[in-house]
Amino acid sequence: MADKKRVLRSALSYGKLDRDGFIHRSWMKAQGLPDDVFDGRPVIGICNTWSELTPCNAHLREIAEYVKRGVWEAGGLPLEFPAMSLGETQMRPTAMLYRNLLAMEVEESIRANPIDGVVLLGGCDKTTPGQLMGAASVDLPTMIVSSGPMLNGKYRGRDIGSGTDVWRLSEDVRAGRMSASEFFAVEAGMSRSRGTCMTMGSASSFAAVAESFGLALPYNATLPAVDARRQAMAHLTGRRIVQLVEDDCRLSRFLTRAAFENVIRVHAALGGSTNTVIHLLALAGRAEIPLTLDDFDALGRDVPLLANIQPSGRFLMEDLHYAGGLPALMKAMQSLLHLDAPTAEGRTLGEIIGDAECYVPEVIGDLDAPVNETAGIWVLHGNLAPGGAIMKPSAASPQLLRHRGKALVFDTIEDFKSRIDTPDLDVDASSVLVLRGCGPVGYPGMPEVGNMPLPRKLLDRGVSDMLRLSDARMSGTAFGTVVLHIAPEAEVGGPLALVRSGDEILLDGPARRLELLVEDRELEERRAAWERTRSDNGPTRGYLALSARHILQADRGCDLDFLRGASGSTVERESH
Ligand code: FES
């Protein structure tokens, strides 16, 4: 039973012996709750992004039942509530547009309700980041249970990876190496169990973020969604969150600068998604932790790729789990981590990974025998990206990491789609494909279109990669020599807006340079003549209008400017 000495936040509602207390309790009793559950015990909110429109999270109602078991067992009162679900593969124009709306909803739902701690259930790409951002601005005791990855995809005797093989196979279809009917036959084999993409895409990357922050129990990132041990982990999380409330151990205890450094290093060793950069910058803004885009490059510089997982490697998340999971990977790089970081599980990070073992060295390398010496996120600067741009070298072609070529510019993704396969397109393998109008304001929402398909006529000649630049994002499951998140974006007048087809562009990845090789005076003339691509003023109503006015650029995490920082958990006024 809960320690009654400390008055919990929920007692300000359920502990009142007056008319207000009657109102708070009576309506809850309509759900069959007995009198004595309002005795001052910890009330645990279970924030659930379950939805049949987010198939990656469709099993989270069942997972919530296991969390509840643990909460009851530890003497708490579990109360599940929904939050907007963001299905990456279903939402238009892009799920990212709504990450901040989810974060607002989660923040206000936690703050407005009489709960003392919260367990976040999410998985699909934008759900966990949005939930964690919202929770960080309230700062109650908080833990995470992720959806867990799908089982490995299977097709004709080989493993296939979510997303990564979609990009690969769709290029095979365009190049005539695969028939359309074969392509459709892959669909069911790729997504053959519940759970998130089983490559090191954005969902797996952020589940690993949750685990390396210590906000989720060990193996949260890798245990397959359908493994019974994930249900047991949810049960144990329910027990543990009650203890965190009793100890008043809040989220801010784990969201420290040292923990961010651990997370960024682990993410580099995993070959994690470029999307994580945006989410961590936004989260740091909520938690008021100093963190810049350049920190990702600096902290990842001495970290090689240790996880041999698609899209940077060969294997899939199920394989990573059987090889020892994140604890084994973190042990392999322990000299680079702050081992005294606390975790919600109760032990320090160092204690958790102390007994970890790698069972399959082919899947998890170590610092002496990494999967690839090149890893992490490269942060590029230059006259084309004054606010910065990023690329993921482990997913790029080594021969293109230093490249100079002529720009072929597309003003919108529709422009790109209408022209890329035309036979008379002025393009060769050395060209640099430039796409703009796809930033947080311009699209809006910064879609995952930065890994543009290659021109069909070059595919026919066997070209398999080209340098591509944009103000867009790309799926964490994607690969190629792709420069993303160019800031400021073209729509707000960034230099990307000034590029013309035929201009020379220089990428010097090892020197972190991205330059438009055009005279300054010429650029000034182009700027004076520049007009926005959009003819209207963008969205005029509702959340979209709010977002267009307040969204920050990618180098600051794309949060809304007025959401940075915290509001805390105190609400002074009663409802009646
Ligand atoms: Fe939901 Fe990949 S589409 S995790």
| Nearest partner of 542 among 98, 133, 53, 132, judged by Cα | 98
Pairing of strands 153-155, 402-410: unpaired
Ligand 1 pocket test: pick from 56, 85, 310 the residue with the most ligand atoms within 8 Å of its Cβ: 56
- What sign for the dihedral angle of Cα 261, 263, 264, 270? positive
* Residue 523 pLDDT exceeds 90: yes
Ligand 1 pocket test: pick from 146, 165, 166, 196 the residue with the most ligand atoms within 8 Å of its Cβ: 196
Ligand 1 pocket test: pick from 98, 124, 190 the residue with the most ligand atoms within 8 Å of its Cβ: 124
Q: Where are the domains of the chain?
A: 153-191, 378-536
Each residue's pLDDT tens digit, 447-504: 999 999 999 999 999 999 999 999 999 988 888 999 999 999 999 999 999 999 999 9
Indicate the pLDDT class of residue 5, thresholds 50, 70 and 90: low
Distance 26 CA to ligand 1 centre (A): 40
Q: What value does the mean pLDDT take over residues 30-57? A: 97
Each residue's pLDDT tens digit, 360-406: 999 999 999 999 998 989 999 999 999 999 999 988 999 999 999 99
* Residue 18 pLDDT exceeds 90: yes
Q: What is the pTM of this model?
A: 0.96
Grouping H, G, I as helix, E, B as strand and the rest as coil, residue 400 is: helix
Q: Whose CA is nearest to atom 2 of ligand 1?
A: 197
538 exposed, middle or buried (CB, 10 Å; 0-12, 13-18, 19+)?
Answer: middle
Per-residue confidence (pLDDT) for residue 28, from 0 to 100: 98
Atom of ligand 1 nearest to the CA of 54: 1
Each residue's pLDDT tens digit, 214-239: 999 999 999 999 999 999 999 999 99
Atom of ligand 1 nearest to the CA of 477: 2
Kindly list the protein residues whose Cβ atom lies closer than 6 A to any atom of ligand 1: 56, 88-89, 124-125, 162, 196-197, 201, 203
* Residue 3 pLDDT exceeds 60: no
Assign domain 378-536 to a CATH class: alpha beta
Q: What value does the mean pLDDT take over residues 546-572? A: 96
| Nearest partner of 79 among 91, 70, 68, 89, judged by Cα | 68
The answer to whether 375 and 305 are in contact (CB under 8 A) is yes
Distance 209 CA to ligand 1 centre (A): 16
Per-residue confidence (pLDDT) for residue 394, from 0 to 100: 86
CA 544 vs. chain centroid, Å, equals: 21
Atom of ligand 1 nearest to the CA of 125: 4
The answer to whether 248 and 79 are in contact (CB under 8 A) is no
Which segments of 86-216 are extended strands (E)?
Answer: 117-122, 142-146, 153-155, 158-160
* Residue 2 pLDDT exceeds 60: no
The residues near 399 (Cβ < 8 Å, ≥ 6 apart) are none
Q: What value does the mean pLDDT take over residues 126-154? A: 98
- Enter the tokens of residue 377: 């996120």
Count how many Cα atoms sit within 13 Å of the Cα of residue 363 in the half-sphere of its side chain. 21
Distance separating alpha carbons of residues 168 and 213, to the nearest angstrom: 33
Average pLDDT score over the chain: 95
Per-residue confidence (pLDDT) for residue 1, from 0 to 100: 45
Per-residue confidence (pLDDT) for residue 537, from 0 to 100: 72
Q: CB 335: neighbour CB atoms within 10 A?
A: 8
Indicate the pLDDT class of residue 171, thresholds 50, 70 and 90: confident
Q: Please measure the distance between the N-terminal and C-terminal CA atoms of the chain and give it in whole angstroms.
A: 30
- Enter the tokens of residue 568: 């805390």
Each residue's pLDDT tens digit, 395-421: 899 999 999 999 999 999 999 999 999
Atom of ligand 1 nearest to the CA of 147: 4
Q: Whose CA is nearest to atom 3 of ligand 1?
A: 88
Q: What value does the mean pLDDT take over residues 552-575? A: 95
Per-residue confidence (pLDDT) for residue 210, from 0 to 100: 98
